[in-house]
Structures are given as C-alpha cells and as structure tokens.
Amino acid sequence: MLALIFDTDLKPWDAAIRHAAQVVLDELWEEITCLPRDAFNELSDEERGRFKAIISYTNQAPEGAPQTPVIHLRPSGFFGPEYGQGVVPDASGLALLNGTPVLYGDDAVEQSTRGISTGADLLASTYFLTTRFEELLRPDVRDNHGRFPGSESLPARAGFIHRPIVDEYAAQIRAWLQALGVALPARKRRFKLLLTHDVDLLGRYRLPFEPFRTLGSALLGRQSVKTAVECLAVHLGRRQDPMDTFDEMMALDGQVEAEVYYFFMAGGSSQWDGWYRIGWRRTKRLLRKLMDSGATIGLHASYEAGARPTSIADEKAALERACGCEIRHNRHHFLGWREMQDGHALAAAGINWDSTLGYAEVAGFRLGVCRPIPLFDPVELRPLGIEEHPLVLMECSLDQPHYMGLDLPGAEAYALGLLRETRKYGGEYVVLWHNSSFEKAEDNYLPALYRRLIDHLRAGEEAV
C-alpha cells in the first residue's frame, strides 16, 4: 500500500489534485491511500510504517517511519488562489526531467537516504494536459469551427505532440519507487488497437435527385460528363458508389486483432453535417451489416451538436431507434467538442465513452496520454463521468495541405512513430479512417497508407 499526501490548505482543489494523481499514477492507483497532510500527521508511527512508500505533494516533506521511503513532489503553486488565472507555460522555456518536458516547476531532483525530492510538478503538468486547461486560459483562441487549434497548443508549439509525456511521468514515478526498493505490482496494461471509422457520408451519389443535379451541372460545364455518367450508373445499380467502401474496410480490419467502431450521424442540419438520414432503409441495412461483423456502433455527434450540446440526447435516441441497441459511445463530427464542460451534456444523454479528443490539424497525443482516462471538468472541479479514449491518428490530419500536408512516406513514418510510442507504454492506438478516404483516386494515397499500416500491425512489434 502507498500513501499520497497533499496539503490541507489546497482545498477546494483537492478533487483536482486527486484527478491528476489518479491519471499519472495510473495502474498504481489501486495501491494508493489519499490523505490530507493533517490526517496523515495524526497517524501513529506504526500506522505510517504500514505504507510501502509515501508520495508527498506538500510544501514540506512529511515525516514517515524511518524505513519508509518518500517521493516528495514539491507543488509549484498551480493549485491555489491563482487557479484558473495563470498563464500558459512558455513553450521555449520548459524544464526537462530526464528529457521529458515539465510544464510546471523545475527539473531539480535530490536523492537522500529518506527518498527523492523534485521540483518537477508532475501533478500540475498532468492536470494541465488532461483537462485541456490551456483552452480555459485562452478562450479567444479558436478556429473558424469553434475548436482550439492544434497548431496553437502547447504540445505542438513545444514540439512534444508526438510524445505521451504524461505516460512518461508515470514511468518516471514508477522508476523512482523501484530505485528506492519498493516492490510494485507488475504492469497489467497491454497494447490495444482501436480501428474507428466516422461515417460522414454514405456515398458520393446517394441522394435521390443526384443524377439530375450532376447531369445539369455537366450540361452547364460545371462538372465533367464522366461524373454525370458515373452518378447515373450508381443509381441504376450498374456500378458501386466510390464511397461505399465498407466491405473493403471490414476485410482489412479483419486482418488484425482490434476493436472496431463505426460512428454514425443521427442529426444536424448545418452545411457541415452528413447528407444522409439515420432512418433510411439503406442506412439501417448498413448498421445491421456492421453490427453482424462484430463492430460497435457509436454516435457521431453532429457539427450542430458540437455548438449546441443539448441536442446530443435527441441524436443518440434517433440512432438507438435505427440500430435497435443502446448507444454508449461517441465521437464528435469535425472533432467539434468545443469546451470541456460541454461533456456534461454527453454524460446526461447516457454517453460514458468518447474518442473525440485529438486535434484535426496534427496527429498525436492531445491529452498527453495514449490510454483511456477519466475526464474532469476544470471549471466545476468535478468528474464528467466519461472515459476518454484519446484519438491518436486521423488520416486527413496527415495528407491535407492545410493540416500536416505529408506525402505517403512521411505520413507512414509519422504514423509508425506514434505506434511505437503507444506500444512502449501499453496504450491504445486509436486510428480514424473515414469510409470516404478509401475512394480511389490518383492523388489519394490514404487507401495505400491504411493497407501498409494494417500490414505493420499484423506483422507485430518487431516490424515497426
């Protein structure tokens, strides 16, 4: 059993501190007893001696039994009267703890016979990343879709978006405990692959009036005759729609051991929302086909719901009617979860699993972790009741010129780098590929990249 001690005068931020500690201590959390410093001081020497080690988040290191080692994390002042009023750390001036960026505190580490003391505030640094605290401090920084831009984020500006540094913090604390001779349980977490697909469009030519529209555009010279002919052939059943790639996707996903998810839209009427209806017969047939394959169906909360979260409940109910099953999973269209506190609407609708939190502009570890974590509201200082499975890799982040703009070799190298980092920490490699991205075109390398990625995953760790 381990003890986590924190200063009593840090209330009402003790809930926030517990959240950060739960995330960074990860698999050790079941071994942890949390105690305010005053409660710890009231314990007898015998009671203190029952702890294998003490992790102290206090201004002054606590007194333990002589044989009990202490890891003392000195608070930086993040949690306190100035909470929520601070500034974002300087991207060019971060301290490095054994090569890992520290957002708050410094890189000082002192070791003695009593234990290890450090000025690296790993709890504040963890909290800043996992609660999207930067977005709270910079409310005026949003893109034209109301999202916080990945290029503006501290991880991107400081150059560590490709590293899950909170997992690096967890590994460092574990290494310190082991260096002090503390016997720890073996790591239980194992690498997991999540292949996810957002269905923004059922097909390129799916609307009933599409042949007339494309034919008219072709006659006016606004569209090629070839496109009009292709559209007509699709509607006559002579040709498969170029975006109807679900059979190919199922075949590829079946080559590896993975959890497979499809996220469907069930509402939204903005120009950015999907051009299909969840109640159409062909949509219901597709839902049944995917469920029969073993895939999990989730809600693709609409662009409109991202701006007006109260509509999530209605969209979830519509999807449940269409597929005939309970929906617990979600990913926002356009990754448009605007503000962290909007997550209360998700939880109120019965969603307790989400995989929205990656950046559209750049692939990587938005929350600093490559594993599922509980989400916490930094405004109301309470848990959201949602387990987040952070999105690591979205295909259009890689190839779009206004995002990363990588060519095929560069995209493959970057994707494999993220895979290596995820494997290293026994995390979840959460991949997003839209069915529309499998459309065959000379300038579209994404189908080839997905096949290469599947090949690497099938070959195992040694091939990466």
Q: What pLDDT, in 10s, does the model give residues 40-69?
A: 888 888 888 889 999 999 988 776 666 789
Average pLDDT over residues 324-352: 96
Q: Parse the chain into domains and list their residue ranges.
A: 2-179, 192-203+242-463, 205-240
Element (H, E) at 303: helix 303-307
Q: DSSP letters of 124-148?
A: HHHHHHHTTHHHHH-TT---TTSPP
Flag the least confident range among 216-230, 244-258, 300-314, 319-333.
216-230
* 127/131 Cα distance (integer angstroms): 6
Residue in 119, 98, 92 with CA at minimum distance from that of residue 108: 119
Among 249, 258, 262, 392, smallest CA distance to 327 is for 262
Check residue 464 and give its pLDDT. Answer: 55
Task: Determine contact, residues 421/370, Cβ cutoff 8 Å.
Answer: yes
Question: Percent of the chain beyond pLDDT 90?
Answer: 75
Mean pLDDT of the chain: 90
pTM value > 0.95: no
Superfamily of domain 192-203+242-463: Glycoside hydrolase/deacetylase (3.20.20.370)
Classify the C-alpha dihedral 361-362-363-369 as positive or negative. negative
Whether 237 has a pLDDT exceeding 60, the answer reads: no
Q: How far is CA 76 from CA 7, 123, 174, in A?
A: 13, 10, 21
- Compute the average pLDDT of residues 13-17: 90
**What is the average per-residue pLDDT within 135-158?**
96
Omega before 185 within 30 of 0, i.e. cis: no
**Closest Cα to residue 376, out of 138, 11, 22, 4?**
22
pLDDT, one tens digit per residue, over 20-39 is 999 999 999 999 999 888 88
Q: 3-state class of 186 per DSSP?
A: coil
- For residue 333, pLDDT over 70 is answered with yes
The dihedral built from the CA positions of residue 288, 293, 297 and 300, taken in this order, carries a sign that is negative
- Per-residue confidence (pLDDT) for residue 230, from 0 to 100: 56
Give the pLDDT score at 87: 86
